Amino acid sequence: MNYVLYPACVLIAFLALLLRLPALIRKPEPGLVALCLYFVSLMFTFGLSIPPVFVAVSKGLGVPNLAGMLTQCCALAAGVVQQLVVLAWSSPWEEAKRRIRRRLAFSALVIVAMSVLFALSVPQMTTRPHTFAVDSAQIPTYQAYLVLYLSCYALTLVETGRLCWRYSGEVEPGSLRRGLRVAAIGSAFGLMYVGARAADIIAPHLGGTGHPWEPLARIGAAGAAILMMLGWSLPTWAPPLSGAWAQVGRYRSYLRLGPLWRAVVDVLPGIALASPDSSGPARWSPRQLDFRLYRRMVEIRDARIQLQRFYSPTVATAARTHAHSEGLSLLEVEAVVEAANLAAAIEKKRADEAPLPVVDSEFDQPEQTGESLHEEQQWLLLVADAFARSPVVADVLASLRRAPSSSEVAL
């Protein structure tokens, strides 16, 4: 597990740091500096925890398991630095500096005390990197070390989660708010690690061992770090990703309107700004997508106005009855009715049939089109999907083609 989870955490921290470096170079403000230090501290925390690195560092420094203490000191530093980020962003700088100094001083004292207790424990420690913490938990001085470390780390997690959640309520809805709440959830998840390590201390006094809890300790540490890193980096990568996903959605909408648009342009070529043959994706820049999508919607609407004189009450009634029998929702039923009348009107226009005399208001724009451009788009997509794939529309066209040219469709 250490060979997979910990390298993954190092990679995520490195990528998150890379995402933030351009902003740090442009404007090295205190909160951003602290955030970058947070990612660096996590790179050291999990990098030192990888077994080959753990052994090499401890051996190189000449102290068994020293990499373990360095890892835990880095974890404490990461927790404190997270608090510095929130304090720097949420408080006036002068006030934030005072609170930051207090937290740094407290953490420094804890690390000094941990160093003394660790040094006293070294002669009795094992040298197995995978389980040195749980194996050493039977040493009284190391137990005191763990109590001090876990108490400070748990306090750091709780305070970080509290600050992140509180500050998330003060910012505008968006990626920063979501990121802060993900970081707060990650802080809570980290308490699993604290609980598993606490079991290492308690188990020997009950005649057991903390080895069964070791997987939970690793999952808790790595899971909490991943959630917090994702939360802190979310404001950087979420907006571009959302924009790219929205662009994909617009392109899909453009393609979904294609069959209906090509059908109406085929019988009414004058409505199109560009003909179907010259509008393929390879012939225009992606930056034109919004314009092309908007034009396609407008041209379908223009075609509807011209084809409305071919609409038939009989077609509408037959399509509505058939659509209801398919168990469709009311909105889907109306979209199918609209698509069926459009399909029938296109057939009549292509056959040069004379339009039927209908009341002008009988087939006005349906209420489902909505008032916003988004609602209009969603309605046209429903109609286009029904036009291309609905069996009701296919039955209407089949009946129209079987019927004499002077008669109405009868389903």
Amino acid, res. 63: V
What is the spatial distance between Cα 273 and Cα 266, in angstroms, rounded to a whole number? 13
* Contacts of range 59-64, beta carbons closer than 8 Å, 24 or more positions apart: 63/122, 64/122, 64/125, 64/127
Distance CA 382, CA 340 (A): 12
Going by C-alpha positions, the residue among 221, 52, 211, 192 that lies closest to residue 132 is 211
- The Cα–Cα gap between 68 and 55 comes to 10
Phi and psi dihedrals of 73, rounded to 5?
Answer: -65, -40
Q: pTM of this prediction? A: 0.72
Closest CA to 380 of 311, 263, 297: 297
Nearest-5° Cα angle at 79, 78 to 82: 85
The residue assigned the tokens 């296919």 is 394
Which tokens is 141 given? 């001085």
Interval 201-258: pLDDT, tens: 888 777 777 778 778 888 998 999 999 999 999 998 888 888 888 899 999 999 999 9
The rounded percent of the chain whose pLDDT value lies above 90 is: 41
Q: Taking phi first (over 0 means left), then psi (-120 to 50 degrees means alpha), and beta for anything else, what does residue 174 get?
A: left
Which pLDDT score, from 0 to 100, does residue 184 have? 93
pLDDT of residue 132: 72
pLDDT per position as a tens digit, 84-116:
898 888 888 788 888 888 888 999 999 999 999
Compute the Cα dihedral for 406, 407, 409, 411 and give only its sign: negative
- Cα 18 to Cα 233: distance, rounded to the nearest angstrom: 10
The secondary structure of residue 169, as a DSSP letter, is T
φ, ψ dihedrals at 351, nearest 5°: -90, 5
- Which conformational region is residue 146 in: left (phi greater than 0), alpha (psi within -120 to 50 degrees), or beta? alpha
Task: Tell me which of 205 and 148 has the higher pLDDT.
Answer: 148
* pLDDT tens, position by position, 349-401: 887 776 666 544 555 555 555 567 888 999 999 999 999 999 988 887 887 77
User: 229 to each of 10, 20, 43, how far by Cα in Å?
Assistant: 11, 12, 11
8 Å CB contact between 85 and 38: yes
Q: What is the residue-wise DSSP string for 198-237?
A: HHHHHGGGGT--SGGGHHHHHHHHHHHHHHHHHHHHHHHH
Could you give the CA distance from residue 11 to residue 233 in angstroms, rounded to a whole number? 13
Q: String of b and e for 142-160 (b: at least 16 CB within 10 Å)?
A: bbbbbeebbebbbebbbbb
Paired tokens of 14: 């490195």
Average pLDDT over residues 271-277: 71
